[in-house]
């Protein structure tokens, strides 16, 4: 026989209370109303204690930003009073800058009781300001200039796209930690482009990444732009990143031997020797790096058709455009060639060198 619930008189099940009264006395969550969202009208970030939080969006729907801002608000403002609770909400009404939402919590207030749901009407007030980052950005604030150039050539579209995405990734990672982690691209010219960077720190992170990713040359220049309180000089740094003369596919001489650049990345530059087909990887710290010499861009590559494998040490080829025929000396790179196949060669210093098969594939893709 259960004793009666001391609040309502029904059969008590726990601590002298019926399930309903127990749940009411032990709510799943606590949330107050009204709540406030302070958001940046330019970028949608929301103000949180001590800074700003960006709101990542998965779609371009205009409502998504507001819903993600509410998610962020509730994750900070709803207090969970038990571990096992699921929180959802509905937007019930919206007037200009006030939202009426209904927060629902589902869970158990005690392991011996059935799950139940609770609903709380919450008023959310929206206010729009400009966040610190957007304010500095629109005011043209910058502590550093990062210049991207290439040695003796233009920066390629592929490189530009990669560099922009590296800058964006680093800015996203630093945002929240560093309010000045922003970059605006400026001055796109034939020879390269510049970024104005909000923070000196961010400019260095990007420069470090580009320097190792492209085995690039780096120079820094300081310019006095004013004085801080107390008379100390205030400087702005300009970092120049100069990409190498060659890109993957181009031809260089390494320690006196003609080679094709296969790849360039943070592990080094991999080259294939056109005479013996051997691959090797060098980096700016290698002794061979200082012997590097640019020979030709990949545009000197020409397509040929293999007419016949000669007796002995030569292959007969026909130029695919001019139909003239030519004999070349076999190298390890031409050992797999069959009659009738399309192959690529490069003329360097008057000598025709067979190119590895991968070079033919890359060219097909272009
Ligand atoms: Zn009761
Ligand atoms: Zn903003």
CATH at residue 84: 2.60.40
Question: Residues whose CB is under 5 A from ligand 1 (ion)?
Answer: 5, 7-8, 18, 21
Q: Per the domain annotation, does 114 fall within a domain?
A: yes
Distance CA 267, CA 271 (A): 13
Ligand 1 mean position to 103 CA, how many Å? 24
User: Is-contact 109 26, C-beta < 8 A?
Assistant: yes
At residue 331, the pLDDT reads 85
Residues 219 and 277 in one domain: no
Residues 140 and 232 in one domain: yes
pLDDT by position in tens, the chain (length 366): 678 999 999 999 999 999 999 999 999 999 999 999 999 998 888 999 888 888 877 776 778 889 999 999 999 999 999 988 999 999 999 998 999 999 999 999 999 999 999 999 999 999 999 998 888 888 888 889 999 999 999 998 889 999 999 999 998 888 777 878 888 877 788 889 999 998 899 999 999 999 999 999 999 998 888 887 777 778 889 999 999 999 999 999 999 999 999 999 989 999 999 999 999 999 988 999 999 999 999 999 999 999 987 666 788 999 989 999 998 888 888 888 888 889 999 999 899 999 987 654 444 433
Distance CA 282, CA 300 (A): 24
Ligand 2 mean position to 143 CA, how many Å? 19
Residues 103 and 161 in one domain: no
Ligand 1 mean position to 3 CA, how many Å? 11
Verdict on whether the full-model pTM lies above 0.95: no
Residues 205 and 228 in one domain: yes
Q: Per the domain annotation, does 137 fall within a domain?
A: yes
Ligand 2 mean position to 129 CA, how many Å? 8
**DSSP one-letter string for 261-316:** EEEEETTEEEEEETTT--EEEE-TTSGGGGG-EEEE-GGGEEEEEEEEEPSSSEEE
Q: Per the domain annotation, does 218 fall within a domain?
A: yes
Q: Per the domain annotation, does 13 fall within a domain?
A: no
Q: Per the domain annotation, does 7 fall within a domain?
A: no
Domain span including residue 32: 19-130
Ligand 1 mean position to 109 CA, how many Å? 15
User: Is-contact 127 119, C-beta < 8 A?
Assistant: no
Long-range contacts from 62-69, C-beta under 8 angstroms, 24+ separation:
66/99, 67/91, 69/37, 69/39, 69/44
User: Which of 108, 130, 152 marks a domain boundary?
Assistant: 130
Residues 258 and 357 in one domain: yes
Ligand 2 mean position to 213 CA, how many Å? 30
At residue 329, the pLDDT reads 84
At residue 2, the pLDDT reads 74
At residue 363, the pLDDT reads 41
User: Which of 207, 224, 243 marks a domain boundary?
Assistant: 243
Distance CA 293, CA 254 (A): 7
Residues 24 and 126 in one domain: yes
At residue 78, the pLDDT reads 96
Query: Residue 172: what are its φ and ψ, rounded to 5°?
Result: -65, -40
Residues 6+ apart with CB under 8 A from 61: none
Selection from 179, 152, 168 nearest residue 246 by Cα: 152
Among all chains, which residue has been given the structure tokens 């959310």?
Answer: 124
The DSSP letter of residue 209 is H
Give the chain's domain count.
3
Ligand 1 mean position to 86 CA, how many Å? 25
Residues 137 and 126 in one domain: no
Residues 26 and 98 in one domain: yes
Ligand nearest to the CA of 13: 1
The three-state secondary structure class of 118 is strand
User: Is-contact 120 103, C-beta < 8 A?
Assistant: yes
Ligand nearest to the CA of 25: 1
Ligand 2 mean position to 8 CA, how many Å? 53
Structure tokens at 44: 């949608």
At residue 112, the pLDDT reads 92
Selection from 305, 294, 298 nearest residue 358 by Cα: 298
Ligand 2 mean position to 183 CA, how many Å? 13
Residues 104 and 60 in one domain: yes
User: Is-contact 6 96, C-beta < 8 A?
Assistant: no
């Amino acid at each position: 026989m259960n004793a009666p619930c001391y609040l309502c008189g029904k059969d008590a099940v726990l601590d002298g209370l019926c399930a309903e009264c127990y749940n009411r006395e032990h709510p799943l969550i606590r949330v107050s109303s009204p709540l406030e969202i302070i958001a940046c009208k330019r970028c949608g970030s929301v103000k949180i204690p001590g800074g700003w939080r960006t709101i990542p969006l998965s779609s371009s729907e205009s409502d998504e930003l507001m819903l993600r801002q509410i998610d962020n608000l509730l994750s900070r403002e709803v207090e969970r009073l038990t571990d096992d609770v699921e929180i959802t909400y509905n937007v019930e009404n919206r007037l200009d800058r006030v939202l009426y939402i209904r927060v629902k919590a589902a869970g158990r207030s005690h392991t011996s009781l059935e799950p139940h749901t609770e609903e709380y009407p919450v008023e959310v007030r929206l206010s729009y300001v400009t966040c610190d980052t957007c304010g500095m950005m629109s005011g043209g604030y910058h502590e550093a200039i990062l210049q991207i150039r290439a040695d003796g050539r233009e920066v390629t579209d592929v490189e530009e796209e990669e560099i922009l995405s590296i800058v964006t990734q680093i800015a996203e990672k630093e945002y929240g930690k560093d309010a000045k982690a922003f970059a605006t691209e400026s001055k796109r010219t034939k020879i390269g482009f510049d970024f104005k960077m909000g923070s000196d720190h961010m400019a260095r992170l990007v420069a470090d990444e580009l320097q190792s990713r492209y085995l690039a040359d780096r120079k820094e220049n300081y310019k006095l732009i004013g004085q801080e309180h107390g008379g100390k000089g205030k400087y702005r740094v300009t970092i120049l990143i100069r990409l190498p003369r060659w890109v993957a596919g181009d031809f260089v001489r390494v320690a006196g031997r003609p080679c094709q650049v296969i790849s360039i990345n943070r592990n080094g530059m991999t080259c294939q020797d056109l005479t013996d087909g051997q691959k090797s990887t060098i980096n700016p710290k290698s002794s061979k790096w200082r012997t590097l010499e640019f020979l030709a861009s990949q545009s000197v590559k020409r397509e040929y058709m293999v007419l016949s494998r000669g007796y002995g040490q030569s292959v007969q080829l026909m130029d695919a455009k001019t139909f003239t025929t030519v004999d070349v000396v076999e190298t390890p790179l031409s050992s797999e060639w069959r009659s009738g196949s399309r192959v690529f060669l490069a003329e360097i210093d008057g000598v025709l060198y067979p190119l590895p098969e991968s070079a033919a594939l890359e060219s097909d893709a272009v």
